[in-house]
């Protein structure tokens, strides 16, 4: 898969089933966002194929919900929370059509799931960082997707909001497939059913307890065996102490 004339991803083989929360982890530039965009149908694979619910991935499909990084949304646009969530259903409604009763029900359900019903009339520009992230999640849920894609959903959030979203994503994975790109290794290791280690190619996939070989993480993040990253995961080699006689 090429992006801007550069090979961004190669030999990526990943299947996600309904009922799974899969953490996509790797360093900056590893191709995590590119992979998410390819599932959305926004980036075309040069070889191989990408399917969603058995159908080729294509832009605008209503079966995929996408939560972008917060900076990708225009927060100073003068709309309310519920109107922002309704924009997630534009592909189903059509650009020049008004929302129907079913659309408003879908938005209301999504707001309930992220605990923002009381703020539905508030302008999005007045929201905190955590509230904004929940708006983006609700916007993705409003299409009632078969697969939910999350791009760095915990970045810049306080711990209570991270816990709220982590519980929500675990709950959502019971009814749909969830793929979460994240730099938060603790959230990935302790909150995901499966991990996918990516750095231009898929290094390894498996349950967190199956990925205890530090060499897999060293290859993924290009770090030494004494790296702080490995210490965080409890995989670092502890140098022998030098004791003078």
Whether the CB-CB separation of 55 and 218 falls below 8 Å is answered with: no
pLDDT in tens, 30-75: 999 999 998 888 887 767 788 777 777 776 666 789 999 888 888 9
Residue 143 has pLDDT above 60, yes or no: yes
**What are 113's strand-pairing partners?**
none
Show me where the domains of the chain are located.
Answer: 2-233
**Could you tell me where the beta strands, DSSP code E, fall in the chain?**
2-3, 6-7, 21-25, 51-52, 55-56, 64-67, 147-151, 177-181, 194-199, 201-206
Residue 222 has pLDDT above 50, yes or no: yes
CATH number of 2-233: 3.40.50.300
pLDDT in tens, 74-130: 898 899 999 999 999 887 777 778 999 999 999 999 999 999 999 999 999 999 999
Residue 242 has pLDDT above 70, yes or no: no
């Amino acid at each position: 898969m090429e992006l801007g004339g550069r090979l961004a991803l190669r030999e990526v083989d990943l299947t996600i089933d309904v009922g799974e929360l899969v953490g996509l982890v790797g360093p900056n530039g590893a191709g995590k966002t590119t992979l998410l965009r390819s599932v959305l149908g926004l980036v075309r694979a040069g070889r191989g194929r990408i399917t969603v619910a058995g159908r080729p991935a294509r832009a605008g499909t209503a079966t995929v919900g996408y939560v972008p990084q917060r900076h990708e949304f225009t927060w100073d646009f003068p709309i309310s929370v519920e109107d922002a969530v309704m924009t997630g259903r534009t592909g189903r409604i059509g650009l020049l059509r008004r929302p129907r009763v079913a659309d408003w029900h879908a938005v209301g359900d999504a707001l309930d799931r992220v605990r923002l019903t009381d703020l539905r009339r508030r302008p999005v520009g007045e929201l905190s960082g955590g509230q904004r992230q929940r708006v983006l999640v609700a916007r993705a849920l409003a299409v009632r997707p078969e697969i939910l894609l999350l791009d760095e959903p915990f970045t810049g959030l306080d711990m209570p909001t991270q816990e709220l979203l982590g519980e929500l994503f675990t709950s959502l994975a019971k009814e749909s497939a969830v793929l979460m790109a994240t730099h938060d290794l603790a959230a990935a290791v302790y909150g995901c059913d499966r991990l996918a280690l990516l750095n231009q190619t898929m290094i390894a996939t498996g349950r967190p307890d199956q990925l205890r070989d530090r060499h897999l993480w060293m290859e993924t993040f290009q770090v030494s065996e004494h790296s702080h990253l490995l210490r965080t995961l409890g995989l670092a080699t502890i140098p022998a102490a030098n004791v003078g006689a």
